[in-house]
Structure 1
Amino acid sequence: MKQRSVASMMDLIEQVAVQDDNIRAVGMEGSRNNPSIQQDQFADFDITYFVTDPTPFRQNDAWLDVFGDRLMMQKPTGALFSGTMQPWYPYLMQFTDGNRLDLKIADVRDKDAYLAAEHLNTVIFDKDNQIEGQPEASDWDFHIAVPSEEAFQNSVNEFFWVSLYVVKGLQRKQLLYANQYMDDPVRKELLRMLEWSVGVSTNFQANVGKNDGRLADSLSETDYERLIDTYKLDDLANTWLALQTASQLFIETARVVADQMGFSFPDYPQAVIHYEAQIMNEN
């Protein structure tokens, strides 16, 4: 099936709102509002309908059929944006033509809180003309945050403390145990430190994307290859190599961050690396 164009999807989204008096405004958020990234066919349509009464939309899902042939749908629960006062009702829909619509039903009284929550949130259609002078959409909220020294020291400590768990798992020949700690928090902290290094090199004006999707664009080819090597966890020997690579890359990156931010760098990481090598070389 040919994928519907962006224009046809946006026309459909607006027409549904126009034809239903209960829908008072349409909000758009997320990556399609981000001027700093290139759009592709996999970008979601993140849309919010601000309504007078959410009840009719909750009675059944038949009203959603107008948006197209669904492959599947998810209806999560929980708050989506801070400051909103009423329940929100999300309908995350993947269509068979490749488009995805993340649609939310929100009380119209939450419109101001929605706009205040993120700089990528905009109202693109408003029957009551209550939104004027909206600022230009920006990914400012998703720029890499400046770390405090406490956050930096906690990251270093967490990385090397849990690296010892990885070694324990390897020595016990428990690959799944070792790899779970390798994935989180060891590599998680490595990624955090790499993000901070990008931050210091860009005056914290960079956004590396959801789940570090664009982090590679800001790393040297060598560092990116080393990072990828930390994902090679298919046997005990490779996990040990991955941990060694991660540790060296972490230390090098953390020293740069510490130097640029004026943080102190502790002595124990090298001692931990030496200790782990001793343990691994005993067998």
Structure 2
Amino acid sequence: MRTEKEVLSQFKEWAKRNELIRVAVLTSSRVRPDANIDFLSDYDIELYVSDLSKFKENDDWLETFGSIMVRWPFKPRSTGFKTGCWITRLVLFKDGVRIDFQITDQLEIESDAYDNGYEILIDKDGITKGLAEPTYSEYIINKPSKEEYEVLVNEFWWDAYYVPKYLWRDQLPFAKYMLDYTLRYSFLHKIIDWYIGMQNDWSVETGALGKKFKNYLDAETWAEWEETYVGADIEENWIAFFNITTFFRKMAKQIGKKLGYEYPDQVDKEVMKFCREIKETKKID
């Protein structure tokens, strides 16, 4: 696999020769002073070009950087990366190097556009001269408002009862979706974020999809978190469901107590009572 020096040197030589490329900015983990870089770390590069149509037509230009293993999206298109006109080309090359390109023909850059870190690879027109120094605070966990907290903890209990409903019916796909996607990613991850933020004076970030949770949770709490994961067995999913609700309750109550927000004890108790009744109800053949 090519080294970072080789990858960036190759890219800069190409960008210098290509008149369409006006600015290239390296972002994300490779420009953060606290990042742990390994051989799987991507190169996130934003290109500011004079003619976007050339990059919409085909991917021939990517062949400069090596043989392609796989790419996303399959054809060049906008993926909602930022407001305005951007197209996305995420590319994994056969030697294992991955470069994520975001490309635009907008040649004006807001001064705080790269508050989470950047390195200017190419700037042929001085467009980036006004960029502010990064504060690395873009993804810092913010303390929830009373309303944010109350909405999240109450809506968790609305969605929670779907898991017993579909486990009882032996409809595993729906139950797993509610358990492993809705409850986990829509609610529990946010609660864990708030818990970690609260424990660290609202000064840290946990990364996409909780990838840094293990860095901040103590061993006992992490072990409890692991117990919320399970495979396809119906009975094991019942156990995971009760584990995930217990974990959510524990963290949500601590956050509420610390911030002076009211936890919905009665809703919790009534929903859990109903969930246990569902589990104990025998099916009639």
Q: Tell me if both proteins adopt one fold, taking TM over 0.5 as the criterion.
A: yes
| Paired residues for 1:1-283 under 5 Å | 3-75=1-73, 76-82=77-83, 84=84, 87-109=85-107, 111-113=108-110, 116=113, 118-132=115-129, 134-188=131-185, 189-267=187-265, 268-283=267-282
Secondary structure of 1:142's aligned partner:
coil
CA separation in 1, counterparts of 2:182 and 2:210? 15
- Provide structure 2 residue ranges, at least 5 long, that are not aligned to the other structure: none
Secondary structure of 2:30's aligned partner:
helix
How many angstroms does 1:78 deviate by? 3.2
CA separation in 2, counterparts of 1:68 and 1:114? 34
Whether the aligned pair in 2 keeps the contact of 1:47 and 1:102 (CA below 8 Å) is: yes
Q: Percent same amino acid among aligned pairs? A: 26
CA separation in 1, counterparts of 2:24 and 2:184? 39
CA separation in 2, counterparts of 1:39 and 1:264? 41
CA separation in 2, counterparts of 1:277 and 1:55? 59
How many angstroms does 1:208 deviate by? 0.7
CA separation in 1, counterparts of 2:115 and 2:235? 45
How many angstroms does 1:164 deviate by? 0.9
Whether the aligned pair in 2 keeps the contact of 1:171 and 1:280 (CA below 8 Å) is: yes
Can you list the C-alpha shifts for 1:48-106, whole angstroms capped at 9, x where unaligned?
A: 22122223333432222111111012234233224x4xx22222110111110111322
Superposed CA RMSD in Å reads 2.0
Whether the aligned pair in 2 keeps the contact of 1:196 and 1:257 (CA below 8 Å) is: yes
- Name the CA shift for 1:180/1:108 in 2 (closer, same or farther; >3 Å): closer
The amino acid of 2:271's aligned partner reads: V
How many angstroms does 1:133 deviate by? 5.8
Secondary structure of 1:56's aligned partner:
helix
Alignment coverage as a number of residue pairs: 277
Which has the larger displacement, 160-169 or 99-108? 99-108
Secondary structure of 1:116's aligned partner:
coil
Which has the larger displacement, 24-33 or 10-19? 24-33
TM-score, scaled to structure 2: 0.89
TM-score, scaled to structure 1: 0.90
Can you list the C-alpha shifts for 1:140-166, whole angstroms capped at 9, x where unaligned?
A: 111113212222112212221111111
- Name the CA shift for 1:176/1:55 in 2 (closer, same or farther; >3 Å): closer
How many angstroms does 1:218 deviate by? 0.9
Can you list the C-alpha shifts for 1:9-53, whole angstroms capped at 9, x where unaligned?
A: 111111111111221111122221222221111111111221222
- Provide structure 1 residue ranges, at least 5 long, that are not aligned to the other structure: none
CA separation in 1, counterparts of 2:168 and 2:128? 62
